[in-house]
Amino acid sequence: MALFRASECGVVCAITVFGYIVNGILCQSNITELISEIFPSCVLGANQINYIIYNRNNLLNGVTVDLESNRLPVESDLPVVFLVHGFTSEANNSRYQNLSQAWLKKYDVNMIAVDWKEGACSGGISLTQYLSYPKSIENAYEVGANIAQFIAKLIRDYGIALKNMLMVGHSLGAHVVGFAGKELQSNKIGTIPQIIALDPAGPGFLTSPCSNRVCKTDADFLQVFHTSDLGIIRPLGNDDFYYNGGIYQPGCSLTNLSCSHGKSVDYLTYSFEDSGCNLIGRKWAWFFGVPPKPECSNSTCSVPGIFAYKYPARGVFYVDTTNLSSSCETNFR
């Protein structure tokens, strides 16, 4: 916190706020600054929603626009992908940037990262962030509606068909894209072809009806990656992929749930990399917990990623990332 001279304010004090010792000259201007440092802006709503547009010629430094921007740097003949971050995060988080870059290196698309960090409680200190989580859930509805309006603008002003769009959301962002899908339908714009929900946030949604969370009616095809206890553990989509059982991920400690939670983004990124291995999902009775047998057929296996909808098998699948020699699409017979 900045200090001010006695001539600017007149009261010298030392106070403790949430463990922070503030020494020096206190006046209204630095009280406001202190409050903004402690309390996340999400308590005031989703006041700033930006769209960062990337393409193959601009992998690293996207162009930031908003709903009111007159010109959008999109190519009308290319598909559109929306990528939405989760709680306490932001669009320029390295995980999301890695996903965006891997996607663009593989496929030529308009990649649009939705930055709603103000509404997702990315500021403030940890205690107040988590106390403000219910407010970020409220904001998620507003962000979803804003995305639906942005999509309507792309359709109306740029001639991009809804059938050429896809939405990806991580954690609370998974529910945001679900709300966007609902809004598109309620406004009679249409139904988006596919949503990929990456470990959809569980807190606040565990008992929610379909109308208040991401749901398979929000898109023609809903694909869900399950990777941690922070996500909703039960199946939600047309295809539900449980990575290594969907609770803990290799390389993450049992107590670091956020590590396993973030792996859902990494696994989608991996699907775009030229590793020589597209991971297989095997049909699984998830409530029994026993990994499935290794045999694969069109009726028992699928491949997670943007083309999962092309495989005929539907339902719940177990994805093993610990034994790539038997878990690659090359072994899919």
Residue 39 clears pLDDT 70, i.e. is over it: no
Inter-residue contact 19 to 40 (CB < 8 Å) = no
Q: How far apart are CA 213 and CA 220, in angstroms?
A: 16
pLDDT at residue 30, rounded to an integer: 52
Q: How far apart are CA 38 and CA 34, in angstroms?
A: 6
Q: How far apart are CA 197 and CA 225, in angstroms?
A: 6
User: Could you report the per-residue pLDDT of 229-261, keeping only the tens digit for each?
Assistant: 999 999 999 999 999 999 999 999 988 999 999
Regarding whether 16 and 163 lie in a shared domain, the answer is: no
Name which of 80, 67, 41 is nearest 163 in CA terms. 80
Regarding whether 107 and 12 lie in a shared domain, the answer is: no
Residue 10 clears pLDDT 70, i.e. is over it: no
Regarding whether 119 and 16 lie in a shared domain, the answer is: no
Q: Does residue 121 or residue 27 have the better pLDDT?
A: 121
Position 214, amino acid: V
Q: How far apart are CA 159 and CA 139, in angstroms?
A: 29
Average pLDDT over residues 6-12: 40
Please state, as a whole number, how many other Cβ atoms lie within 10 Å of the Cβ of residue 253.
Answer: 9
Least confident of 31-45, 240-254, 292-306: 31-45
Q: How far apart are CA 148 and CA 222, in angstroms?
A: 17
Say which CATH number the domain at 259 has. 3.40.50.1820
User: Which residues belong to the active site?
Assistant: 171, 199, 261
Inter-residue contact 132 to 124 (CB < 8 Å) = yes
Residue 42 clears pLDDT 80, i.e. is over it: no
Which range of residues forms the domain containing residue 26? 1-38
Q: Which band of pLDDT confidence, cut at 50, 70 and 90, is reported for residue 46?
A: confident
Regarding whether 201 and 290 lie in a shared domain, the answer is: yes
Residue 271 clears pLDDT 70, i.e. is over it: yes
DSSP state at residue 292: P
Name which of 262, 271, 303 is nearest 96 in CA terms. 262
Q: How far apart are CA 280 and CA 278, in angstroms?
A: 7
Regarding whether 278 and 130 lie in a shared domain, the answer is: yes
pLDDT at residue 7, rounded to an integer: 38
Regarding whether 175 and 318 lie in a shared domain, the answer is: yes
Inter-residue contact 181 to 218 (CB < 8 Å) = yes
Torsion angle of C-alpha atoms 260, 266, 268, 273, degrees rounded to 10 = -150
Least confident of 147-151, 307-311, 324-328: 324-328
Beta-strand ranges (E) seen in the chain are 12-17, 20-25, 50-55, 58-65, 80-84, 110-115, 165-170, 192-198, 219-226, 239-243, 281-283, 301-302, 315-319
Name which of 291, 287, 295 is nearest 320 in CA terms. 291
Regarding whether 27 and 169 lie in a shared domain, the answer is: no
Regarding whether 65 and 17 lie in a shared domain, the answer is: no
Regarding whether 71 and 1 lie in a shared domain, the answer is: no
Q: How far apart are CA 105 and CA 55, in angstroms?
A: 9
| Mean pLDDT, rounded, of the chain | 87
Position 127, amino acid: L
Residue 58 gets the label, from left (phi > 0), alpha (psi -120 to 50) or beta, of beta
Regarding whether 215 and 89 lie in a shared domain, the answer is: yes
Regarding whether 26 and 73 lie in a shared domain, the answer is: no
User: Could you report the per-residue pLDDT of 318-330, keeping only the tens digit for each?
Assistant: 999 987 655 676 5
Domain total of the chain: 2
Give me the residues paired with residue 14 across strands: 23
Please state, as a whole number, how many other Cβ atoms lie within 10 Å of the Cβ of residue 22.
Answer: 15
Average pLDDT over residues 50-74: 95
Average pLDDT over residues 176-199: 99
Q: How far apart are CA 313 and CA 310, in angstroms?
A: 9
Regarding whether 91 and 14 lie in a shared domain, the answer is: no
The residues, ordered by sequence, that sit 6+ positions from 171 with a Cβ below 8 Å of its Cβ are 85, 86, 87, 89, 198, 199, 200, 201, 230, 231, 261
Inter-residue contact 312 to 299 (CB < 8 Å) = yes
